[in-house]
């Protein structure tokens, strides 16, 4: 059995890129990008809460980093590097090797090397903490508080698949191997929209990534920006894997489903072409789904333009009693 230090060395030490001091000192060091701001985000993921105990470790390594890169994307920040904390209930080397592979592969795609970490043993649950660092010029950072009335509201990618996969795996929906096969990738291999976020610098006025559900996350933009919104339900980009599902399940997945890791953003109507060009450059699909309103509140309009009621809430780790 390997010691802690062997373990760290074997799976989590990569040659740090030039200018970065990686795993192996008290701190990791990286150069401060001149004239930019450092953007940072942290997530703490726990077995049984954020992932199933039997999840493919390679996808877990990928997703642990992806959810943090998605936060950089939502600020328009360029990834610099990341640190990883890992608490393991046992030392399972094939599991670790696969986890590390999934993590490092996504890190390489986005130029976000692992530069530091902490490995320890846990009493019960696997716990994973990831903190990412990026850089963005202060005046170009996409924030939650920049939306204005009459801005277009946009979303990238598609909605709904991750929620359906989660509920199938969790046993909330009857087993449906075909639908699970069509939705599972969205849940386990989310693709953080880093290139899109950077392309939207100076174009979008506000942005957020959808982790807790479209309505809830858009709600954060609206609250921070002191505006309201009207969404057109029929315009929402829905994963085709949801075709034929009961309407209440679709509604819940599309409006309330978390784990999407696409961007929801606003931009002036005069910038529609620029938004389209940014998406094209980033290889992303974007869809205009509504507009911001001076009147507070979030309304979803049905195909006949009437406000829908009984909208699903997003995920809250500590729901109100």
Q: What are phi and psi of 38, to 5 degrees?
A: -90, 130
Burial of 173 (0-12, 13-18, 19+ CB in 10 A): middle
Among 24, 283, 296, 297, contact with its own copies (rule: CB under 8 A): 24
The span from the CA of 200 to the CA of 204, in Å, is: 5
Token pair for residue 90? 């046992």
Stretch that binds its own copies, among 130-138, 150-158, 167-175, 254-262 (CB under 8 A): 130-138
- Scanning residues 31 to 50, which ones bind its own copies (CB under 8 A)? 31-44, 46-50
CA distance readout (Å), 310 to 58, 146, 218, 251, 293? 38, 28, 17, 10, 21
Nearer to its own copies, 87 or 230 (CB): 87
Give the x/- contact pattern for its own copies in 76-95, rule: CB under 8 A: -x-----xxxxx---x----
Give the x/- contact pattern for its own copies in 141-170, rule: CB under 8 A: x-xxx-------------------------
- Scanning residues 186 to 245, which ones bind its own copies (CB under 8 A)? 207-209, 224
- Scanning residues 93 to 112, which ones bind its own copies (CB under 8 A)? none
Nearer to its own copies, 113 or 250 (CB): 113
Quick check: 171 binds its own copies (CB under 8 A)? no
Closest CA to 205 of 35, 76, 293: 76
Quick check: 13 binds its own copies (CB under 8 A)? no
The span from the CA of 85 to the CA of 45, in Å, is: 10
Contact by Cβ (8 Å): 140, 202: yes
DSSP state, 264? Answer: E
Quick check: 9 binds its own copies (CB under 8 A)? no
Quick check: 305 binds its own copies (CB under 8 A)? no
The span from the CA of 84 to the CA of 79, in Å, is: 15
Contact by Cβ (8 Å): 257, 315: no
Place of tokens 């290139």: 195
Quick check: 268 binds its own copies (CB under 8 A)? no
Stretch that binds its own copies, among 54-62, 122-130, 147-155, 302-310 (CB under 8 A): 122-130
- Scanning residues 45 to 74, which ones bind its own copies (CB under 8 A)? 46-50, 70-72, 74
Nearest approach in angstroms of CB 44 to its own copies is: 3
Integer-rounded Cα Rg, in Å, for the chain is: 20
Nearer to its own copies, 207 or 278 (CB): 207
């Amino acid at each position: 059995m390997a010691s802690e230090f062997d373990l760290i060395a074997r799976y989590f030490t990569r040659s740090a890129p030039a200018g970065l001091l990686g795993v192996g000192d008290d701190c990791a060091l990286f150069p401060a990008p001149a004239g930019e701001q450092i953007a940072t985000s942290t997530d703490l993921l726990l077995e049984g809460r954020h992932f199933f105990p039997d999840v493919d470790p390679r996808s877990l390594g990928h997703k642990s980093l992806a959810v943090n890169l998605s936060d950089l994307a939502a600020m328009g920040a360029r990834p610099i590097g990341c640190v990883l904390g890992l608490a393991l209930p046992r030392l399972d080397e094939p599991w670790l090797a696969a986890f590390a592979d999934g993590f490092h592969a996504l890190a390489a795609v986005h130029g976000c090397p692992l530069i530091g970490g902490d490995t320890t043993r846990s009493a019960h649950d696997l716990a994973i903490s990831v903190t990412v660092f990026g850089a963005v010029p202060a005046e170009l950072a996409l924030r939650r508080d920049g939306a204005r009335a009459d801005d277009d509201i946009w979303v990238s990618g598609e909605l709904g698949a991750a929620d359906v996969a989660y509920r199938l795996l969790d046993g909330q929906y009857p087993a449906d191997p075909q639908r699970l096969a069509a939705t599972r990738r969205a849940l386990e291999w989310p693709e953080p929209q880093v290139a899109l976020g950077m392309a939207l610098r100076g174009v979008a006025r506000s942005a957020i990534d959808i982790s807790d559900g479209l309505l809830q996350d858009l709600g954060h933009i609206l609250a921070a920006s002191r505006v309201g919104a009207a969404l057109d339900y029929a315009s929402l980009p829905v994963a085709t894997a949801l075709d034929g599902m009961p309407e209440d399940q679709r509604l819940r997945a599309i409006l309330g489903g978390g784990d999407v890791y696409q961007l929801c953003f606003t931009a002036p109507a005069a910038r529609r072409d620029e938004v389209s060009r940014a998406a094209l450059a980033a290889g992303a699909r974007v869809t205009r789904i509504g507009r911001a309103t001076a009147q507070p509140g979030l309304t979803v309009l049905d195909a006949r333009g009437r406000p829908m009621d009984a909208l699903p809430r997003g995920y809250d780790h500590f729901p109100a009693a």
